[in-house]
Structure 1
Amino acid sequence: MSRSDRLFRLLDTLRRLPPPVTAARLAGETGVSERTIYRDIESLRAAGAIIDGEAGFGYTLTEDNAVPPQMFDRLELEAVMLGLGWLEWQGDPALAEAAKRAIAKVTASLPVRKADEARHVALLAYAFDKKPEVPEFMPILREAAWEERAVDITYTDREGSFTERRIWPLSVVYTDYEPWILAWCCLRRGFRRFLISRVASVSETRESFRPRRVPLLREMMSETYSG
């Protein structure tokens, strides 16, 4: 691991874990020795990061120079934290973990007063219904949509028929109940919405539909909400 990557990982760990974080915990999280942690803390301080604490007590990232300070008003902070909090409940494991990291990074980038507001927001997200099980292939679908690559799926339609289809994934939609995917179906030659719970498997392909995802998504949304 390069030194820059190591320092970035240390900063990310300081943002993410509740302070104060001991050198032993930081070493375990980043995979280096405690001696390296002490040297890297000093390097971050020299670069402008304000890190309170010392060996034997623990460290707190007070001001993060790696992210420019953000000036949100209180309602904007409520909106950001509410949205990321909802994702922690409703997203698949990878997205939920990403939401936690995002919250830590946003909070670390704020001035002290605003960071306190972010930690004590008045609006919180909570789901009473059991979180739907999200299949392991969700990261494949997200990546395929970003990279504009077709995927092959096995799917059970509303009549109970089992079909194999090639689709162009346009967007993954997270709802109150379960996620579904907006796509162009190559079999039906049209736009379709596929419930994730009816998808049995997803396989990657090398077929690209770049750069058509954004125009197709706009067209699909226009057809859906027109009239």
Structure 2
Amino acid sequence: MTAQVLAEELGVSVRTVYRDIATLAAEGAAIQGEAGLGYVMQPGLFLPPLGFERDELEALALGLAWVQGRADPVLGRAADNALAKIHAMLPPEGRETVEGEEALIGPSPEPPPAVVPLERLRDAIRRQRKLAIVYRDAAGAQSARVVWPIALAYPDGVRLLVTWCETRAGFRTFRVDRIVEGAVAEERYPRSRRALLKDWRAQLD
């Protein structure tokens, strides 16, 4: 995208775009290109340096501790890494807040293990791909479904997959430990995940 197009969309001057792109690139944003030709931002996430108040640090530490103790191992390791990065950029007084455990997460029952890896389910959610599952209900009966996965939920002692179910033509929630098969299709589901989540939440009200 050229600087001229960016300037028009943002309502700023081309010179401002040149300056801001240079600043972002200097801070580590994966932007390729140059003035007069155009710019491309490479895939991935980038955040500039952030400053946190004491309460904000406590909230981050508490949230990451929750993920470490209740999410699956992949997200648990990600929380470990995120906490290490936050710790590394903090001044001494900030590190005391993160390390001080001023707020604690209570014990929670261990959820039953998943047969289908949660990484696969998260991949289908992120790429908005249909998912063909075989589900075993509480009585042991199995059924095949095609679902549109939109979120993973982590209530105490269980993990849930929130979906739009083509078989039932409505929103359905499945316990992850009872999904015995799960194949991610290349076909995207026809509605955006954000819109589906909005409708699902509205249904809960």
TM-score (norm 2): 0.71
Which of 172, 181, 202 pairs up with 2:182?
202
Distance 1:73 1:136, change over 3 A: same
User: 1:91 aligned to 2:71?
Assistant: yes
Query: Which blocks of at least 5 consecutive residues in structure 1 are unaligned?
Result: 1-46, 48-65
How far off is 1:74 after superposition? Answer: 1.9
Q: Secondary structure at the match of 1:121?
A: coil
Match of 2:157 in 1: 177
Tell me which residue corresponds to 1:30.
none
Indicate the residue corresponding to 1:51 in structure 2: none
Following the alignment from structure 1 to structure 2, what is the Cα–Cα distance between the partners of residues 84 and 117? 14
Partners of 1:68 and 1:115 in 2: CA distance: 20
Alpha-carbon offset, residue 149 of structure 1: 0.3
Quote the offset at 1:131 in angstroms.
Answer: 4.8
Change (3 A) 1:193 1:128: closer
Matches within 5 A, 1:10-49: none
Q: 1:111 to 1:67 in 2, by over 3 A?
A: farther
Cα distance in structure 2, aligned partners of 1:202 and 1:92 = 17
- The CA deviation at 1:158 is 4.5
| 1:129 CA drift (Å) | 3.0
Of residues 86, 104, 111, the one that matches 1:106 is: 86
Q: Identity of counterpart residues, as a percentage?
A: 32
Per-residue displacement from partner, 1:112-164 (whole Å, max 9, x unpaired)? 32123212231122425335424452111111101000111100235543101
Q: Which amino acid aligns with 2:137?
A: D
How many residue pairs get aligned? The number is 161
Superposed CA offset, 1:59-107 (max 9, x none): xxxxxxx975432222221111111111111111101101100111112
Partner of 1:154, secondary structure, is: strand
Q: Does 1:144 pair with 2:118?
A: no
Q: Which secondary structure does the structure 1 equivalent of 2:95 belong to?
A: helix
Name the Cα RMSD after superposition: 2.2
Alignment of 1:121 onto 2:101: yes
Greater displacement, 112-121 / 77-86:
112-121
Q: Give the counterpart letter for 2:146 in structure 1.
A: R
| Residue in structure 2 matched with residue 161 of structure 1 by the alignment | 141
Structure 1 Cα separation of the partners of residues 118 and 171 of structure 2: 20
TM-score by length of 1: 0.64
Unmatched segments (≥5 aa) in structure 2: 1-25, 27-45
- In the alignment, is residue 190 of structure 1 matched against residue 170 of structure 2? yes
- Give the 3 Å change call, closer, same or farther, for CA 178–85 of structure 1 in structure 2: same
| Aligned position for 1:29 | none
Q: Is the 8 A contact 2:146 2:165 kept in 1?
A: yes
1:215 pairs with 2:195: yes
Structure 2 SS opposite 1:71: coil
| C-alpha distance in 2 between matches for 1:130 and 1:157 | 20
